[in-house]
């Protein structure tokens, strides 16, 4: 539904009326829409549009788990904007989720089939976990069907697929060398579908709700980088947005867990932080409603949202330049206040290389 700024307030008021019937207070709803606009980096004038979209549509959702640990499901339970109770009862219609749903077995399968058949092309599929390709997919079967078989049907008929967590977005730990089951991401397993990737271990649920609201608000998926990750969540490097960045620039580094610099919140680069190679909005959104995030907890970033971090970003506790495959900065041993700028420039070059690659997407590769 399109509307101009003139009638937006009327529509907004209408939507609030309908909300009352659903038991959501005006205040809670405003808080939600305002926060959503902030996460999406939208001006306040967009708040009524978000409100309208959320208040009038109740899109169908199915959530499938494959090679996963339910960490992203747990993350979903921590949702606050809206809360999980609001998601389940008011905002979306979550038709299938093995961990949460009441029915089991054939009844559960019926719930899934009802959506796939009756809402064809009209529902979101959320996928958690990697998909094993080796040996006919025997390494992950649900109800006797392989994950691959199920994903082809469910994602193939969906309006869009949202891959949540690192396993679904690039294979995650299941795909770490030697990848015994041939685990791959959803977009590799089911090529050609529309996918939004929300990596992270776990994904940050704020980014999931923001993605869906973005679609409801604008009728399109958010702009994405070459890895199909929304720019609002993955457009900036952790290092550039980090609360400890000034200590990096000043050459103030933690050298031992619990030393004075560690207690004072100095830079974790020397302890192996992968923030300079990770694109994620952890520093601004944080986890658990802004409670903390790894760097705030005194631990380096492990680049959980970066492709194949288990293979490419390890050892996690060795500082970046000597991580195999990244000879970015050979003078890190001498790093100090004077050399910090050079280091930052070196890292930036690598980052630019990644940012200018979205064209690859159109060529069908990644």
Helix axis angle for 47-56 and 205-218, nearest 10°, is 90
Query: Would you count residue 283 as binding another protein (CB under 8 A)?
Result: no
Element (H, E) at 347: helix 340-355
Smallest separation (angstroms) from another protein to the CB of 366: 25
Q: Which is nearer to another protein, 75 or 197 (CB)?
A: 75
CA distance 31 to 272: 38
Owner of token pair 């050892």? 315
Q: Which is nearer to another protein, 70 or 332 (CB)?
A: 70
Total number of residues that touch another protein (CB under 8 A): 76
Smallest separation (angstroms) from another protein to the CB of 50: 21
Taking CB under 8 A as the criterion, the residue among 12, 32, 253, 287 binding another protein is 287
Taking CB under 8 A as the criterion, the residue among 3, 45, 57, 180 binding another protein is 180
Long-range Cβ contact pairs of 259-264 (< 8 A, separation 24 or more):
262/298
Query: Would you count residue 305 as binding another protein (CB under 8 A)?
Result: no
Interaction residues for another protein, span 96-135 (CB under 8 A): 96-111, 114, 135
Smallest separation (angstroms) from another protein to the CB of 197: 18
Q: Which range binds another protein by CB under 8 A, 25-33, 42-50, 222-230, 296-304?
A: 296-304
Taking CB under 8 A as the criterion, the residue among 7, 10, 289, 333 binding another protein is 289
* Contacting residues for 222 by C-beta, under 8 A, at least 6 apart: 40, 196, 210, 211, 214, 215, 230, 231, 232
CA distance 186 to 150: 11
Q: Which range binds another protein by CB under 8 A, 34-42, 190-198, 232-240, 262-270?
A: 262-270
What backbone phi and psi angles, to 5 degrees, belong to 281? -95, 25
Smallest separation (angstroms) from another protein to the CB of 191: 20
Q: Which range binds another protein by CB under 8 A, 90-98, 121-129, 273-281, 348-356?
A: 90-98
CA distance to 61, 78, 87, per residue, from 208 (Å): 12, 12, 12
Task: Identify the CA nearest to 94 among candidates 69, 72, 64.
Answer: 64
Taking CB under 8 A as the criterion, the residue among 26, 57, 120, 264 binding another protein is 264
> Taking the alpha carbons of 109, 207, 353, 314 in that order, is the dihedral positive or negative?
negative
Query: Would you count residue 338 as binding another protein (CB under 8 A)?
Result: no
Helix axis angle for 47-56 and 26-39, nearest 10°, is 120
Smallest separation (angstroms) from another protein to the CB of 128: 12
Taking CB under 8 A as the criterion, the residue among 38, 88, 159, 344 binding another protein is 88
Owner of token pair 């620039």? 249
Interaction residues for another protein, span 48-77 (CB under 8 A): 58, 60, 70-71, 74-75, 77
């Amino acid at each position: 539904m399109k509307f101009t700024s003139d009638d937006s307030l009327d529509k907004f008021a209408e939507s609030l009326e309908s909300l009352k019937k659903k038991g959501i207070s005006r205040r809670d709803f405003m808080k939600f829409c305002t926060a959503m606009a902030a996460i999406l980096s939208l001006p306040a004038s967009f708040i009524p549009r978000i409100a309208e979209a959320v208040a009038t549509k109740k899109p169908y959702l199915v959530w499938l788990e494959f090679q996963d640990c339910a960490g992203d499901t747990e993350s979903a339970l921590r949702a606050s904007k809206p809360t999980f109770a609001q998601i389940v009862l008011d905002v979306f219609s979550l038709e299938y989720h093995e961990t949460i749903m009441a029915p089991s077995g054939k009844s559960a399968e019926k719930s899934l089939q009802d959506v796939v058949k009756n809402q064809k092309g009209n529902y979101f599929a959320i996928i958690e976990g990697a998909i094993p390709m080796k040996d006919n997919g025997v390494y992950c079967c649900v109800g006797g069907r392989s994950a691959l078989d199920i994903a082809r049907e469910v994602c193939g008929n969906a309006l869009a697929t949202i891959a949540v967590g690192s396993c679904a977005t690039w294979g995650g730990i299941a795909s770490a060398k030697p990848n015994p089951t041939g685990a791959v991401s959803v977009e590799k397993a089911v090529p050609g579908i529309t996918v939004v990737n929300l990596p992270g271990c776990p994904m940050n649920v704020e980014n999931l709700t923001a993605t869906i609201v973005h679609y409801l608000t604008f009728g399109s998926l958010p702009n994405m980088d070459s890895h199909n990750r929304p720019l609002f969540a993955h457009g900036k490097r952790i290092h550039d947005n980090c609360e400890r960045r000034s200590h990096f620039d000043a050459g103030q580094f933690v050298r031992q867990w619990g030393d004075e610099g560690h207690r004072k919140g100095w830079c974790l680069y020397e302890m192996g932080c992968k923030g300079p190679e990770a694109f994620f909005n952890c520093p601004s959104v944080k986890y658990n409603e802004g409670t903390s995030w790894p760097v705030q907890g005194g631990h380096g970033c492990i680049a959980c949202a970066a492709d194949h971090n288990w293979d490419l970003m390890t050892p996690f506790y060795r500082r970046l330049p000597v991580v195999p495959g990244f000879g970015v900065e050979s003078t890190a041993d001498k790093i100090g206040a004077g050399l910090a700028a050079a280091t930052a420039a070196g890292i930036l070059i690598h980052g630019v290389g990644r940012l200018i690659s979205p064209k690859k997407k159109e060529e069908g590769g990644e």
